[in-house]
Chains A and B, each alone.
Chain A
Amino acid sequence: MDAMHANPEVVTTHDVQHDGHHEHHQSFITKYIFSQDHKTIGKQFLITGMIWAIIGGLFSVLFRLQLGFPGESFPILETVFGKTWAPGGTIKPEFYYALITMHGTILVFFVLTAGLSGTFANLLIPLQIGARDMASPFLNMLSYWFFFLASVVMMSSLFIQTGPAAGGWTVYPPLSALHDASIGSELGMDLWIISIALFVISTLMGGLNYISTVLNLRTKGMSMTRLPLTIWAVFFTAMVGVLAFPVLLSGLILLFFDRNLGTSFYLSDIVVNGQIMPNEGGNAILFQHLFWFLGHPEVYIVILPTMGIVSEVISINSRKPIFGYIAMIGSLFAITTLSFLVWAHHMFVSGMNPLLGSFFVLLTLLIAVPSAIKTFNWLTTLWRGNIRFTPAMLFSIGFVSLFISGGLTGIYLGNSTLDIQLHDTMFSIAHFHLVMGVAAFFGMFSGLYHWFPKMFGRYMNPTLGYIHFWVTLIGAYLIFWPMHYEGLAGMPRRYLDKSPWVSFNQFGDLDRMISIVAIIVFAIQLMFVFNFFYSIFKGRKVTTLNPWKANTLEWTTPIKPGHGNWPGEIPEVHRWAYDYSKDGRDFIPQTEPVGANEKIEH
C-alpha cells in the first residue's frame, strides 16, 4: 500500500498528547469511562453495540436451529438454557417467541440505532465539520450512559424467571398488555418498556446534540453545502429520531398504564384465559399508530447514516466526486420528510379504513423516488471511476446491491393490494432484512473498515476483511433471496414449526439450507469481531495522516487525535468534500484554497 502511504508527514501519537488544544490531565476513569470526548463516546457506543449484535445474532442462530430442524434435539441447548426453556434440547414455543422478540428489539434499537448513529455521528460530526467536540460534551456523555442503563435493564430481563418480552418487537397490545396472555407479558414486558424509555432519552440527548453541533460548530468556510454527505445523513437521522421517538415513548407510557394501573387506552371487550377483563372503550389499533409513527421513521434512522457512509466511501474509492451532491441531499431530505407520512402502510390489514390506506400507498410508493435517485447516483459515481477495492469499498458496493434487491420488494409491500397477500409473511422478513438489516450492517462495516485507522491508529487485516465481505454477501443472498418464495406461498412469519400445515410444509429443505448458511454467516461475524479487537492492539500501524487520500477534515488531524482533535488551530475550509480527479489532480483536500482559475462546485 505504498501509494496510499506516500505522504511524508508522520506524526507520532506522543506529540499530540502534549500539544492538544484542550488536552488536560485525565485519569483512567475520565478518559475511558466517563469520558466527554466524542471519539471515546463513539467507541463506547460501538463496542456496546457490538456486544448486543453478538447476542442478537446468536438469538437468530438459536431460532434458525428451530426453524431449520424442527423437533430435533440439541442437548447443548438444555445445558445452557435449562429445562424450563429448552427441555430435552428442543426450543419451547415461549422461548422461541422470546428469542425473535429480543432479536428484533436488540438489532433494531440497540445495534442499528445506538450502535450505528451513536458510533458514526459521534466520531464523524466534530471531525468532519471541524469542531473540537460536540456542542454539549456532557449531554453526549449522558446519552451514552442512558443507553448503557437501557442495556442493563434489557439485559436483566433475559435472566428473570418469566423471561423477556415475547410479543414481537412491535409489542402490540393486548398481547403485551395482558399478564395472562403470555409469559412474555409478565415482568419481562415492564422491563422492556422501562429499557426503551431510557433508550428514547438517550436518543433524544444524542440527537439534539448532533443537530446543534452541525448547525453551530462548523469551522470557518464550512457552509452547509460543503458538508460531506455523512454529516448530512447523520444530521437528518438525528432530526427523524428527535421527532419520532417521543411518540413511541408516549405510546409506551399508556401501555405501561394499561398493564399496571387498570386504564383502558388499548383494551376493550377482552376475555383472556376465561377471565373477563373490566376494560371497555379502548382501541388496540391506536397503539399501532403510535408505534409505527416511530416504527417506520425508525427504519430510516437505521438506513440514512449508512447511506451517508456509503456515499463517502464510494466517492473516495472511485476517485470521483459523488454524483449529484445536491440531489443526494435533496433525496435525504425527501426521505426524512416522507418517512413521517408512511407509517400506516404497516397497517393495511389492521382494519383501518381502506380510503385512509390508499393515501399511505401513494406516499409509500412516492418514497421510492428519492431512493431510486440515490441508487442511480451511486451507480453513476462508479461509472468511469478508478476503483480501489478496499474492504470498505466492497461493503459499500454490497450495500448498493442489497439496497436495490430489498428496496424493490418494498414496492410490493407498499402497494396495499399486494400487501393483503404478503403482509406478515416471510416475504416481508426477506424484504426488510435485505434493505434495512443486512444493508445497514454492510454500511456499518464499510464505515468501520474505513474509519478504523482514524479511531485506533491501526489498520484492520484486509484479507480477513475480504473473507468477511464475500462470505457475508453470498450468505445474505442465500438466506434471504429464497425466503421471498416462502412468503409468496403465504408462509406466515413467526411460525416455529410448519409441519402441521398443508399450505406451508413444502419448504423443509429450504429452511434447513437457510439455517446452515445463517450459522456460517454468524461465525464469520465472530471472525470480524476478532479482527476488530486484535487490530486495535496488534494491527498494522497507520504511518501517514491521510491513508485513503480523502478530502475531508478528519484526515488533517494527527493519527491519534487527542481531546480537541487539532493540536493547533482548526483548519479553514475552502471547498466541498468531493474534488477528486479534478483538473488532473487525484484529490484536493477541503482545506486547500481555491486556485486563481479554478471553477468550484460549492
Chain B
Amino acid sequence: MQTFFIVAILVLGFLITFQIAKTSEYVSVLRGEEKSRRQSNNINAFLLLAFLIIGLFGVYYCNETLKDKILYVSASVEGENIDTMMWITTALTGFVFIITQIALFWFAFKYRESDKRTAYYFPHHSTLEVIWTVIPAVTLTVMIGFGLYYWFKITGEAPKNAMVVEVTGSQFQWDFRYPGKDKILGKKYYKNINAATNNPLGQVWDDPANHDDIHTTGEVHIVVNKPVKFIIGAKDVIHDVGLVHFRQKMDAVPGTPTTMWFTPKYTTKQMKEITGNPDFVYEISCDQMCGKGHWSMRGVVIVETQEEFDTWMFSQKPQYYVAFPDKDPSNPAFKPDSTSAGSAAVSVGNNQAKTRQ
C-alpha cells in the first residue's frame, strides 16, 4: 500500500510538472518567444552562479562533516609516505579544482547573452596554449617524481629482519601460516589441500620444514615496530589483502604468489586509544570481487608487543600435529617413529616440550 502511494505521488508530481512545462511553452508563444527565452536565459545564468556559491560551500560543509570519519593516523611507517603524497595531491588538485570551477561558472554567468555585448572572435592564442600545456606538464612531473619515490620505497625489498607470514585467501576466509622455529615455510602443493585430513593449505608433510609451521584462521598476530612481510596466495579465485590502516593492499592470486611488507607503528591497544574507539581492531578486507561472500570476507590483524606475541606463539600448535595427533609429543598417544621426517618432527617436538617445562 505504501509503495502504491509513493508511486501515485511520483506519477502525480510528474504530471503536474509536465503540465506546467507544457503551459510555459504556450505562454512563451503568447508573450513573445524571444522575451521568454531571454528571461529563462537570465534565470539559468543566475542559477549557475548560485550553484557555484552553494556548491563551494557544500564542498566545505561535506569536508567538515566527514573529515573525522575518514582515516586516522597511518598505523604503519610506510603508510606515512602515502599520507604525505595524499596531502601534496590534495593541495595541488584542490587549487586547480577551485580555480577552474570558479572560472567555468563565473564566465557562464558573466557572459550570459546580452544585446550590449558581441562575442569576441578569439580562435587561438599560441602563448596561452603553451602556458597551459607546460604548467600542467611540469606540475604532473613533480607529482610523478614524488609518487615514484614513495612507490619504490614501499614496494622495494622487505628488510632482512622482517617477520614472514604467509596469507592465503579462499572463499570467504583468510588463513595464515608462520614458518615456526626454523624460519622456513615448508613446501606446499595445491593438490594436497584437504580439509578432511587437516591439511587446509596443502602442506607437503615430507618436507621437514613444514613440521613446525603454525596455521591460524581469521586472525593474524604481528609485532609492533618490527617489519612484517606477507607472502600472499589464494586457493580458488583472486582475493585481495586490504589493510586500510596500514595503507597496504595486494591481490591474492591463485598460482602466482605476491608479497607486501610494512612496519606496524601502534599496537591494537594503542590504536584503540588513538581512535577513541574501544572496539577498534585492525581489519583485513577483501578488496577484490571474489563471489557472493566478498563483502563479509574479513580478517583481523592483532598488533602486539614482542612479549605478548611470544606468549601467543607459544600457545600455538603446529598444523603437523593437528594433522597427525599421534606425532604430537604433548599427546598421550605420542609414538616416536623412525623415519627421517618423523625424527625431525620429534626433535622439534622435544624442543617445544623442553621449553614448555
Contact = CB atoms under 8 A, between A and B. Distances in A.
Interface of A: 1-5, 74-76, 92-94, 97, 166-168, 170, 172-175, 178, 181-183, 267-274, 276, 280, 282-285, 318-327, 349-351, 354, 357-358, 361-362, 365-366, 368-369, 372-373, 375-377, 379-380, 382-389, 394, 397, 400-401, 404-405, 408-409, 411-412, 415-418, 420-421, 423-425, 461-464, 466-467, 470, 473-474, 477, 481-482, 485, 488-490, 492, 494-498, 500-504, 506-507, 510, 523, 526-527, 530, 540, 578, 580-584, 601
B40 A462 contact: yes
B82 to A, nearest CB: 5
Contacts of A415: 85, 89, 143-144, 147
Given A276-B190, A373-B132, A383-B107, 8 more contacts: A272-B171, A362-B148, A383-B122, A404-B104, A418-B147, A461-B22, A474-B51, A482-B66
B14 interface: yes
B140 A366 contact: yes
Given A411-B93, A488-B70, A387 B113 contact: yes
Given A274-B195, A412-B89, A581-B121, A174 B34 contact: no
B245 interface: yes
B55 interface: yes
B100 A379 contact: yes
Interface stretch (B151-159, B203-211, B220-228, B321-329): B151-159
B308 to A, nearest CB: 20
A276 B193 contact: yes
Contacts of B59: 481
Contacts of A76: 3
Contacts of B32: 2
B48 interface: yes
Best-buried of A178, A268, A369, A580 by chain B (most CB within 10 Å): A369
B interface: dominant SS: helix
A507 B292 contact: no
A73 to B, nearest CB: 12
B285 interface: yes
A175 B239 CA distance: 10
Nearest to A347: B251
A350 B232 CA distance: 11
A178 B237 CA distance: 9
A490 B242 contact: yes
B289 to A, nearest CB: 4
Contacts of A318: 111, 119
B73 to A, nearest CB: 14
B184 interface: no
Nearest to B235: A271
B334 interface: no
A551 to B, nearest CB: 13
B279 interface: yes
B84 to A, nearest CB: 9
A43 B288 CA distance: 39
Contact of B103 (A174, A175, A379, A470): A379
Contacts of B111: 318, 382-387
B57 to A, nearest CB: 12
B69 A272 contact: no
Nearest to A498: B295
Given A76-B3, A383-B107, A181 B22 contact: no
B171 A327 contact: no
A147 to B, nearest CB: 27
Contact of A477 (B58, B152, B248): B58
Name the 10 nearest CB pairs between A and B, nearest first.
Answer: A268-B255, A490-B244, A351-B258, A354-B155, A463-B21, A384-B120, A581-B119, A389-B44, A495-B295, A175-B237
A91 to B, nearest CB: 12
B24 interface: yes
B133 interface: yes
A284 B254 contact: yes
Interface of B: 3, 10, 14, 17-18, 20-22, 24-25, 28, 32-34, 37, 40-41, 44-45, 47-48, 51, 55, 58-59, 62, 66-67, 69-71, 79, 81-82, 85-86, 89, 92-93, 96-97, 100-101, 103-105, 107-108, 111-114, 117-125, 128-129, 132-133, 136-137, 140, 143-144, 146-148, 150-152, 154-156, 170-171, 190-191, 193, 195, 202, 232, 235-238, 240, 242, 244-245, 247-251, 253-256, 258, 277, 279-281, 283, 285-296, 298
Contacts of B249: 349, 420-421, 423-424
A411 B121 contact: no
A284 B148 contact: no
Given A417-B81, A420-B247, A485 B119 contact: no
A174 B82 contact: no
A273 B40 CA distance: 63
A372 B132 contact: yes
Given A268-B254, A404-B104, A473-B51, A93 B69 contact: no
B107 A379 contact: yes
Contact of A420 (B17, B114, B154): B154
A2 B58 CA distance: 39
A397 B103 CA distance: 11
Nearest to A388: B113
B152 A358 contact: yes
B28 to A, nearest CB: 8
Best-buried of B111, B237, B296 by chain A (most CB within 10 Å): B237
A473 B108 CA distance: 15
B104 A182 contact: no
A32 B86 CA distance: 54
B151 A354 contact: yes
A247 B12 CA distance: 49
A382 B150 CA distance: 40
Contacts of B237: 172-175, 178, 181, 272
A475 to B, nearest CB: 12
Contact of A394 (B44, B121, B258): B44
B326 to A, nearest CB: 25
Contacts of A94: 292
Contact of B121 (A1, A268, A400, A582): A582
B123 to A, nearest CB: 4
A319 to B, nearest CB: 4
A400 B248 contact: no
Contacts of B34: 1-3
Contacts of B120: 320, 383-385, 581
A502 B279 contact: yes
B104 A401 contact: yes
A401 B89 CA distance: 19
Given A365-B140, A380-B122, A270 B129 contact: no
10 contacts: A2-B34, A272-B235, A383-B120, A384-B119, A408-B93, A463-B40, A467-B21, A495-B285, A580-B121, A582-B121
B254 A461 contact: no
A389 B42 CA distance: 8
A269 B255 contact: yes
A373 B134 CA distance: 10
A269 B295 contact: no
Nearest to A506: B69
A418 B294 contact: no
A500 B299 CA distance: 11
Nearest to B78: A420
B124 A271 contact: no
Contacts of A582: 121
A424 B82 contact: no
A409 B93 contact: yes
B97 A405 contact: yes
Nearest to A583: B121
A540 B25 contact: yes
